[in-house]
Structure 1
């Protein structure tokens, strides 16, 4: 048995014997309660989804993709096996944004998540500690997600909003003061010292890319994105050369390639994998053997988080992709519509299995969402109805 196979068995990540992904029908409608409101409850959303346990045929006839899925089985088709491995453990959910919670779009300012997806994430976050980790700025990420019961990590994890907790001595210098004493939150910003240089680079990039049609510079606070999705193929080399020319004068920065985007980032040892570890540590889960991190993402920057989960020997790294690609993920989902279905099923599984467990057991001491600690009627009533509190 190979080391990878042993790891998969330990993690409950056994490969599926089928190579066909299961097709999930998109939501075609939502249930209206009256003329001015839309029912986005878990029940109403799931009622518009076909039973995911019944295959509707392969998504793709492409042999290479089907072979890849055999190596990275569908998280939907493997759901029951995954949850069997998760039984009795504390699941912590980590989600990428673009391409995972929202579709990839030409205009990065219009990468909106659907109301159905937002409702699904809200529902998941009621039952599991949940964080959204993105290359976007943290402020922009919060504008898109619009939820108060999740943790936010922007700039590929270089800007994290976390609850106040004990700091490791080596981390203390990277924290700002508490930004909201009422909410007792602090910011963790390991690249804060680079902010002046980042703003200089942003200004230079905006100037030199003006003449490249379709190029767009996005300020993500601790990193800068140069989008080229609308740039003509013959102009890409020119754009890349211009960006590299600017960076020649900034040796403490490096260039990475994402999905139709060039990203300028400080050269520090910090990525989404470190952010995942930091959030687990902040929640008091770093040394717990019963914690199972679940990470869903679609980009190469998510690979760092996948590696961390695999190194822990316990967890579910899930990649979102409609094409074969090299990845450290053990499971796959085809697109954001399958992410939606998976999250809804995850929340439903916890609802059905948590009747005998308190939310404090699920989240861990001191980690309940503030809305629950404050006694928010909106969040408490559904849980009371389920007999969970």
Structure 2
């Protein structure tokens, strides 16, 4: 739960650059990999988050944040034999897909047992499970609220989806949890009442108008950046990746502030392996970074153990729901990185994880939706269900 730090007596004279900043205490979620409180400056009246000054109190990494050993290899990036005809360009079929999992219906029902039931067809079941509990919504962006597109800079959310998210946020605490930079996803969504967790949860900011549903009295805007010490390193590697990948047509390097993305959706599949080797060769020189893969994207992150699952736990605690059995988190996402959040829900035995996918894949989610259009229907359903409950 958020707490304000007590002012010392007599009051200390603050530097001019800090006069308009409030200090907020945001505790890390209690659990296996967290044990401290981090002092983070709230945004000032201009909306600045302190990135360009020295007032942010960085976490003592060596004591409190766990690190992963960077083990880079490209064996999982080599195209495999696929029953699909080879297609080139932006619409190429992903050869990483399991050729034995092409039938969506077989994925939903296996050995006469429903494994990944539709969240729409089982909507009443989800609502019944949430009865008497506080719903907290967590939404991925790309592939969940907007369609996957060839150019990541044009992954726009349509107005109808924006209205659906706005209505949900008026009923429940709602967060966007994405691998994108927080600033970029905010420009896509354009809703001030949401929590935004960018860079796979390494850049979290609360609603600009203050939290509406948090079980706290303070209304300060919160900023939490556990990987801030890695910023110079991320910027350095970004420049290298841009330079080294210029020779690969269709490759695009995206700077997501605390992590980097190398998109290969528009790269000739025959060049995927060589692109991966280029990226891997760079990351091998930086042991404090690690390489992972998403949907036709290579992702470079700091080695701290912080992901979308940790962001989910952190936000629940910030809202005051961490140790409550009366909370019902719903997480909707489509990417491999969302599996970290699904695992957290499984471990907590709370809420519902919903995978957005038309293609069968291994997942820890309890339910499934095929596409963003179904996500929007699900969100509308939650709003209508809440109206009935309130009335």
Distance 1:149 1:186 in 2: 13
TM-score, normalization by structure 1: 0.70
Match of 1:18 in 2: none
Distance 2:350 2:177 in 1: 20
Q: 1:64 aligns with which of 106, 126, 147?
A: 106
Shift of 1:334: 0.8
Q: 2:319 aligns with which of 274, 283, 291?
A: 283
Shift of 1:197: 0.4
Contact 1:101–1:339 under 8 Å retained in 2: yes
Match of 1:100 in 2: 144
Shift of 1:257: 0.5
Superposed, 1:104-143 pairs within 5 Å as 104-143=148-187
Match of 1:151 in 2: 195
Give 3-state SS (helix, strand or coil) of 2:126's partner.
helix
Contact 1:162–1:279 under 8 Å retained in 2: no
Q: 1:256 aligns with which of 277, 292, 301?
A: 292
Q: Relative contact order (C-alpha < 8 Å, sep 6+): which is higher? A: 2
Match of 1:310 in 2: 346
* Cα root mean square deviation, aligned: 1.8
Give 3-state SS (helix, strand or coil) of 2:162's partner.
helix
Distance 2:105 2:159 in 1: 35
Match of 1:90 in 2: 134
Superposed, 1:177-256 pairs within 5 Å as 184-256=220-292
Give 3-state SS (helix, strand or coil) of 2:223's partner.
strand
More helix by share: 1
Give 3-state SS (helix, strand or coil) of 1:324's partner.
coil
Distance 1:325 1:65 in 2: 8
Give 3-state SS (helix, strand or coil) of 2:176's partner.
strand
Runs ≥4 in structure 1, deviation > 3 angstroms?
Answer: 60-63
Change in CA separation of 1:330 and 1:66 when aligned onto 2, cut-off 3 Å: closer
Matched, 1:162 2:198: no
Superposed, 1:338-377 pairs within 5 Å as 338-355=374-391
Shift of 1:193: 0.2
Contact 1:162–1:188 under 8 Å retained in 2: no
Give 3-state SS (helix, strand or coil) of 1:140's partner.
helix
Change in CA separation of 1:222 and 1:61 when aligned onto 2, cut-off 3 Å: closer
Match of 1:169 in 2: none
Shift of 1:228: 0.4
For 1:207-226, what per-residue CA distance to the aligned partner results, in whole angstroms no more than 9, with x for missing partners?
A: 00001010000000000000
Aligned length: 280
Match of 2:48 in 1: none
Q: Any gaps of 5 or more consecutive residues in structure 1?
A: 1-59, 166-181, 356-389
Distance 2:317 2:147 in 1: 31
TM-score, normalization by structure 2: 0.69
